[in-house]
Amino acid sequence: MIELQHVSKQYGNLHAVEDLSLVAHNGEIFGLLGPNGAGKTTTIRMIMNIIAPDLGKILIDGTQITDSIKVNIGYLPEERGLYKKSKVYDMLMYLGRLKGKKDNELTSAIDLWLDQFSLLEWKNRKVEELSKGMAQKVQFISCVIHDPKILFLDEPFSGLDPVSSDFMRETIVTLSNSGTTILFSTHIMEQAEKICNRILLMNKGKSVIYGKLDEIKEKLGHKSVIVEFSGDGSFIERLPQVEHLIRYPKYVEITLKENSDTDSLLTQLVSKISIRKFEIVSPSLHNIFISQVKEGGDEYETK
Amino acid sequence: MRRNKISIIATHEFKKVARTKTFVIITIIGPFLIFAMTVLPSLLNNNAEQFQEGSIISIVGGSDELIGDVRDAFSPYGVVVTKGRNIESLKKELVVNNTLQGIVEIPGDIMRIEAFNYYSASGTDYLYWETIKNIIGNYTINERLKELDIDTATYQSLSKTPSVIVKKMSASGEEEGGDIFSIIMTSISFIMLLYMSILLYGQMIGRSIVIEKTSKTIEILLSSARPDEIMAGKIIGIGGAGLLQYAIWVIAGIIIKTGIASTAIAIPSFISISTLLLLVVFFILAFLLYASLYAALGAAAENEQNLGQLAWPLILFLVIPMVMISTIVMNPDSLFSLTLSYFPLTSPMVMFVRVLVDMPQVWEILLCFFILIVSIIFSIYFSSRIFRVGILLSGKKHTLKEIIKWMRYK
């Protein structure tokens, strides 16, 4: 279990992280979300004990972190960097040894993982010979080779093709089921929505939203309706139930005001236009994120 | 077996360097290369020019006797000496038809002239005009002596100056062989060796760090090891490769010196085994100092070009002894040489030259070691502070001033 209690870190006049608290339970996939410069990297570095917080406490399984925690951590940085001139096997051995693993344990673990990712034949090839996608996989193997209890994944899906991406997601879920705590950082909300149990949304060093994903949706999300129709739909925007409306070429996405009734909306629409599809959807994390950041009065830039 | 992180990183870095082809090549040909760069040109120069058989020298003016003397001197080499009359037509022969090697023009009375002319198409046929100068010089002196009725033997005994025999004393009070020329050349070779290896391995550290920083590999390492462990591992690993290289050179040197002393690659006698070991010690100390400074700069740099910009003050200190080598060898006890032989950034090279040239007192060498070791401790301490901050900050170039500020960060 990872626990941050009122953690702050300041660089000069910049509050990189301010009064941040969170709990990530064992076996949970925890989404650390937010735009660039929100303080995600600083937070991750503090949990890995690379930098020390100015204020607050960081506890792992109830005890204050020390350097010995590094043995139990796997880290996949956003920008991938491997030793280009090294052989895949040599590099995995090196990174595994640094995690305190015995050579014989590593040898079998490397074979196992390379086989799982269909990379076994590349074992003695140089990293620079790998394709981008293969290098991504090798990098992922390098951060799980020592069987970490805590795994930090920074944008693990970037650059992967759909098949590899699916496989990566399955692997992450399997690891989480076997008890690994996964801290997952991304700016693509759809991904976080698909796999996270719990999220913390950061902006400008502060926690904006924190909690279980379904509870957040329940509490903060306003219902949305997707309507496909023919006819002049310009009146929809002015209806009393409508909070916000996004027009797409074929349909509109309507965000309803709190406690609005979808039945009355449908009645009003049917009287003026012909409806082909009327779908009630739960709010997307994307919308929650944008509305929360905007409500906070802060500017939010998407990448 | 669980191993210490520093030793894992050091082993990795050591293998990475020692397995490269460059390392093997430098280890094998390094000493020859330095020998070739320093000693060879002067050796080659001695045999560079030879008389061309069948070449013609024409002399205008001067007595037949003088021309006979010149002819006698050149005839063993097959050089033809003729008596010329018309200087203008000869000049044409020289430059247009290319049939002559050179023309000697003696203006007026041989007894009174202060200079004569030598015309040549190249102007660089040093061996010809130097030979002619000596013959004409001897001839005129002899003629002048005859005029004054002084015999040659008297003149020679009167004009003879005492010569100097240079004998280098070793610390134990023995006389050593070896002429000044070979001492200077050897000093230059060794200083080159130190300069090149310190620069090579120092830059290797800096580059290795800046590459890992830009490729973000450092982030993965940081998730496993502390910054000071990474820095120490790199310095020890890459330094170990350098040390292996020196060990190979020194052992080869000792084998050549003790085993096959009378080979073509004889090592000058004033280089003892202890001198070679001292070379290794100076390399280690210089490497540790420069490596720790380079590590800090590598961590602070944004990319490899930026590292080059930040590292110029370091290179400057390495270059000073190289540029001032002749001054140092000629005046090993001057204030300038003494200062450089204690100043930590130049002392490994300059003190080693002093060891070669005038064997300083033992306390002087120990003082030099002491200053170096203290500097290394300071340098490692401050560099590790810069390193810690630098490797995490990317995306911006930093000035040396900003970098020095990082030392104060908590």
- The 10s digit of each residue's pLDDT in A10-54 is 887 788 899 999 999 888 999 998 887 788 888 988 988 888 899
Q: Return d(Cα A243, Cα A257) in angstroms, integer.
A: 5
Q: How far is B219 from chain A (nearest CA, A)?
A: 7
**pLDDT recorded at residue B65:** 86
Q: Mean pLDDT, to the nearest integer, of B149-159?
A: 83
CB contact under 8 A, A50 and B225: no
pLDDT band at A115 (very low <50, low <70, confident <90, very high): very high
pLDDT band at B370 (very low <50, low <70, confident <90, very high): very high
**pLDDT recorded at residue B202:** 92
pLDDT band at A302 (very low <50, low <70, confident <90, very high): very low
Residues in A closer than 8 angstroms to B216, CB to CB, are: 77-81
Of all residues in chain A, the one with the smallest CA distance to B391 is A50
What percentage of chain B's residues is helix, strand, coil (to nearest 5)? 70, 5, 25
CB contact under 8 A, B217 and A81: yes
* Run of H or E including B117: strand B117-120
What residue type is assigned to position A280 of the chain?
A: I
List, edge to edge, every strand of the sheet that includes B117-120.
B80-84, B56-60, B102-105, B117-120
CB B7 within 8 A of CB B233: yes
Residues in B closer than 8 angstroms to A100, CB to CB, are: 2
pLDDT band at A297 (very low <50, low <70, confident <90, very high): very low
Q: Return d(Cα B385, Cα A234) in angstroms, integer.
A: 63
Of all residues in chain B, the one with the smallest CA distance to A106 is B1
CB contact under 8 A, A79 and B216: yes
Q: Decide which of B384 and B267 is more confident.
A: B384
CB contact under 8 A, A82 and B217: yes
**pLDDT recorded at residue A218:** 72
pLDDT band at B395 (very low <50, low <70, confident <90, very high): low
**pLDDT recorded at residue B375:** 95
Q: Return d(Cα B289, Cα B202) in angstroms, integer.
A: 9
What percentage of chain A's residues is helix, strand, coil (to nearest 5)? 40, 30, 30
SS3 of A58, please?
A: strand
How many residue pairs bridge chain A and chain B with CB atoms within 8 Å of each other?
Answer: 61
Q: Which of A18, A19, A43, A16 is nearest to A184 (CA)?
A: A43
Residues 226 through 285 of chain B touching chain A, CB cutoff 8 Å: 226-227
Residue with tokens 């490729």: B215
Query: Which of A80, A82, A98 faces B224 most closely, judged by CB atoms?
Result: A98
Q: Mind listing the pLDDT tens digit for each residue in B23-62?
A: 888 888 877 776 666 566 656 655 556 787 888 888 888 8
- Using a CB–CB cutoff of 8 Å, tell me whether B1 touches chain A: yes
Q: Which of A72, A61, A27, A73 is nearest to A177 (CA)?
A: A27
- Test mutation, A70, A84, A97, chain B, max B CBs within 10 A: A97
pLDDT band at B129 (very low <50, low <70, confident <90, very high): confident
Average pLDDT of every residue of chain B: 83
Burial of B179 (0-12, 13-18, 19+ CB in 10 A): exposed
Query: Which of B212, B216, B222 faces A50 most closely, judged by CB atoms?
Result: B222
Which residues are A230's β-sheet partners?
A: A274
pLDDT score of A303 more than 50: no
Q: How far is A129 from chain B (nearest CA, A)?
A: 17
Which stretches of B77-116 are assigned E, i.e. beta strand? Answer: 80-84, 102-105
- Test mutation, A94, A138, A153, chain B, max B CBs within 10 A: A94
CB contact under 8 A, A98 and B5: yes
Q: Mean pLDDT, to the nearest integer, of A104-133?
A: 90
SS3 of B100, please?
A: coil
CB contact under 8 A, A50 and B223: yes
**pLDDT recorded at residue A258:** 75
- Using a CB–CB cutoff of 8 Å, tell me whether B402 touches chain A: no
Q: Return d(Cα A183, Cα A60) in angstroms, integer.
A: 13
Query: Which of A78, A82, A102 faces B1 most closely, judged by CB atoms?
Result: A102
Q: Mind listing the pLDDT tens digit for each residue in A196-254?
A: 889 898 888 888 888 888 788 777 766 788 899 888 888 888 888 888 888 887 788 88
CB contact under 8 A, A75 and B221: no
Residues in B closer than 8 angstroms to A95, CB to CB, are: 220, 224
Q: How far is A128 from chain B (nearest CA, A)?
A: 13
- Using a CB–CB cutoff of 8 Å, tell me whether B217 touches chain A: yes
- Test mutation, B17, B209, B219, chain A, max A CBs within 10 A: B219
**Rg (chain B; Cα; Å):** 30
Q: pTM of the full predicted structure?
A: 0.73
Residues 46 through 105 of chain B touching chain A, CB cutoff 8 Å: none
pLDDT score of B277 more than 90: no
Count of CB atoms situated within 10 Å of the CB of B308: 16
CB B206 within 8 A of CB B295: yes
CB B296 within 8 A of CB B391: no
